[in-house]
């Protein structure tokens, strides 16, 4: 049999043709065929993240190619860590730096958020990919991907993850790390522009080692700010600095985001955090409840986990509320007490969403006028939001096709049928679009509470 290195080179050549150079270099650059046994071909990979990603996304492809090359269809593949590439780096702790402008560049500057630590982040199927990717950004000075773009609905733990990264790198590495919101970065940019201090502003943010920006969807519809942000990104990226973003929406779903900036956001790793399922919510509750000086019985935690299925933030709010009521009223927490105190959280959950609320959410997200939405304009920037609005009205309110047509300026019912069919087709083939519609409806429902 030929040496493993020669076999792997031939297999990788085939993989490169199938994936293209960008995806190939991202995931296969530092891999090698370690050995071929009776049952497995063992592939050595440089880190845990690559190991997980290849296993979940490329094991079938590699099994097929290796089996064809070796004429062994029974041979499975497994991914092992390459010990030859592992290295332990111990760096001295960097002293605190309190930034006079308010950006979080030192541990004391973070204030209340310094309690958000990675070791307290509860991991489940909904967030494991994002968490593992975050660890890779911390562990490696030159991680296997850059930037890392984390997105998901409000309250699922994106900020916890970013602040946890910030805390960890400040504690363990001698680096200049900045964590701040996109809104604060925008405000500082505008201030520097007005005061003629752009050179100082650029020096400050284009020379950091780790750049963590939260809520980057705030950049929506801010063309001048986006242009400066793009230049900052390019300067950091070209210097191999670590870049981590968080957003409520996938880059493609951020309204009026420059195409070249969206492309940059997606040039590394994009990881979505889903809403936690019941088991993860219960684990989060147990973890957080253990930090309070009151006792929460398991029955109470199970009830909260079942009722609060939207966000981690709501779970925390429920615990704070229960703790306060228990202290103020000198009450023991039991299931009856929990149901009584938390009933206000569920008030209005059964209310019907109004058509004006659906329409308003669509108008705000796509930044178009109501007159455009109800017009006959066929430009995609108008017709696509109109189709989404028609779909949501049908889906949430169950109006007839003609009712919807009448609402949008006496349009024919066939126009409405076409619009809803179009959206259903998009939902079937595009998971990101499905996530976007879920996010939009979640915002509409939350606005009612």
Give residue 111's pLDDT.
Answer: 40
Q: What residues does CATH 1.10.1750.10 cover in the chain?
A: 355-446
Residue 124 marked ligand-binding: no
Q: Name which of 98-102, 217-221, 245-249 the model is least confident about.
A: 98-102
> Would you say residue 298 has pLDDT above 70?
yes
pLDDT at 448: 59
Average pLDDT of the chain to the nearest whole number:
84
Quote the percentage of the chain above a pLDDT of 70. Answer: 88
Domain with CATH 1.10.8.60 in the chain: 278-346
In the prediction, which pLDDT does 1 show?
A: 57
Which of the residue ranges 33-37, 42-46, 177-181, 252-256 has the most confident prediction, judged by mean pLDDT? 177-181
Across 68-77, 259-268, 439-448, least confident range = 439-448
Does the pLDDT value for residue 96 go beyond 50? no
110 vs 143, residue with greater confidence: 143
In this structure, are residues 371 and 385 in contact, taking their beta carbons and an 8 Å threshold? no
Domain with CATH 3.40.50.300 in the chain: 107-273
- For the stretch 141-162, pLDDT in tens is 788 899 999 999 888 899 999 9
User: Tens digit of pLDDT for each residue in 314-352?
Assistant: 788 889 889 889 888 888 999 999 998 888 676 444 445
Mean pLDDT to the nearest integer, 185-196: 93
37 is in an annotated binding site: no
Q: Mean pLDDT across the stretch 22-30?
A: 74
- Say if residue 291's pLDDT is above 70: yes
Select the CATH number that applies to the domain covering 107-273 from these four: 3.40.640.10, 3.40.50.970, 3.30.1490.20, 3.40.50.300. 3.40.50.300
pLDDT in tens, 374-386: 888 889 899 999 9
pLDDT of residue 72: 84
Three-state SS sequence of the chain:
CCCHHHHHHHHHHHHHHHHCHHHHHHHHCCCEEEEECCCEEEEEECCHHHHHHHHHHCHHHHHHHHHHHHCCCCCEEEEEECHHHCCCCCCCCCCCCCCCCCCECCHHHHHHHHHCCHHHCCCCCCCHHHHHHHHHHHHCCCCCCCCEEEEECCCCCHHHHHHHHHHHHHHHCCCCEEEEEHHHHHHHHHHHHHHCCHHHHHHHHCCCCEEEEECHHHHCCCHHHHHHHHHHHHHHHHCCCEEEEEECCCHHHCCCCCHHHHHHHCCCEEEEECCCCHHHHHHHHHHHHCCCCCCCCHHHHHHHHHHCCCCHHHHHHHHHHHHHHHHHCCCCCCHHHHHHHHHHHHCCCCCCCCHHHHHHHHHHHHCCCHHHHCCCCCCHHHHHHHHHHHHHHHHHHCCCHHHHHHHCCCCCHHHHHHHHHHHHHHHHHCHHHHHHHHHHHHHHHHCCC
106 annotated ligand-binding residue: no
Give CATH 3.30.300.180 domain extents, the chain: 4-84
Report, at the CATH architecture level, how domain 4-84 is classified: 2-Layer Sandwich (3.30)
Q: Residue 127: is its pLDDT beyond 90? A: yes
Question: Does 201 score more than 90 pLDDT?
Answer: yes
Q: What is the pLDDT of residues 379-416, one digit of tens each?
A: 989 999 999 999 999 988 878 888 898 888 778 888 99
The pLDDT of residue 27 is above 70: yes
Q: Say which range, 14-23, 212-221, 378-387, has the weakest mean pLDDT.
A: 14-23
pLDDT value of position 84: 54
Is 158 annotated in a binding site? The answer is: yes
Strands 40-45 and 32-36: antiparallel
* 355-446 under CATH 1.10.1750.10, yes or no: yes
Segment 430-436 mean pLDDT = 85
Q: Report the C-alpha gap between 31 and 11 in whole angstroms.
A: 12
117 pLDDT above the threshold of 70:
yes
Q: Which fold has domain 278-346?
A: Helicase, Ruva Protein; domain 3 (1.10.8)
């Amino acid at each position: 049999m030929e040496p493993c290195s020669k076999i792997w080179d031939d297999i990788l050549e085939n993989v490169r043709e199938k994936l293209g150079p960008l995806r190939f270099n991202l995931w296969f650059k530092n891999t090698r065929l370690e050995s071929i046994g009776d049952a497995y071909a063992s592939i050595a990979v440089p880190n845990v993240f690559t190991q997980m990603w290849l296993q979940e996304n490329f094991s079938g492809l590699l099994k097929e190619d290796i089996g064809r090359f070796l004429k062994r269809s029974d041979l499975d593949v497994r991914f092992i860590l390459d010990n030859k590439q592992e290295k332990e780096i111990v760096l001295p702790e960097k002293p605190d730096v309190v930034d006079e402008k308010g950006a979080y560049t030192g541990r004391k500057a973070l204030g209340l958020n310094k309690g958000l630590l990675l070791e307290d982040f509860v991991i489940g199927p909904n967030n494991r990919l994002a968490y593992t990717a975050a660890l890779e950004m911390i562990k490696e000075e030159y991680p296997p991907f850059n930037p890392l773009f984390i997105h998901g609905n409000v309250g699922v733990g994106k900020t916890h993850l970013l602040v946890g990264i910030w805390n960890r790198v400040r504690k363990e590495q001698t680096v200049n790390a900045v964590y701040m919101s996109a809104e604060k970065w925008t405000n500082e940019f505008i201030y520097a522009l007005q005061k003629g201090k752009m050179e100082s502003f650029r020096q400050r943010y284009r020379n950091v080692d780790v750049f963590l920006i939260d809520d980057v969807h705030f950049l929506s519809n801010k063309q001048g700010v986006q242009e400066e942000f793009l230049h900052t990104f390019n300067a950091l990226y070209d210097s191999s600095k670590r870049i981590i973003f968080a957003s409520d929406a996938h880059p493609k779903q951020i309204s009026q985001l420059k195409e070249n900036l969206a492309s940059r956001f997606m040039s590394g790793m994009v990881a979505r955090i889903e809403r936690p399922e019941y088991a993860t919510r219960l684990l989060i509750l147990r973890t957080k409840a253990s930090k309070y000086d009151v006792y929460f019985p398991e029955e109470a935690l199970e009830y909260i986990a079942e009722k609060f299925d939207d966000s981690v933030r709501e779970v925390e709010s429920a615990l704070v509320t229960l703790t306060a009521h228990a202290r103020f009223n000198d009450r023991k927490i039991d299931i009856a007490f929990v149901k009584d105190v938390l009933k206000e959280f569920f008030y209005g959950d059964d209310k019907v969403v109004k058509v004006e609320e659906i329409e308003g959410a669509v108008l705000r997200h796509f930044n178009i006028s109501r007159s455009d939405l109800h017009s006959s304009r066929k430009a995609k920037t108008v017709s696509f939001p109109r189709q989404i609005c028609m779909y949501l009205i049908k889906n949430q309110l169950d109006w007839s096709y003609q009712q919807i047509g009448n609402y949008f300026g006496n349009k024919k019912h066939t126009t409405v049928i076409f619009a809803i069919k179009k959206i259903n087709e998009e939902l079937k083939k595009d998971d990101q679009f499905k996530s976007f519609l879920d996010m939009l409806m979640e915002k509409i429902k939350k606005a009612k509470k």
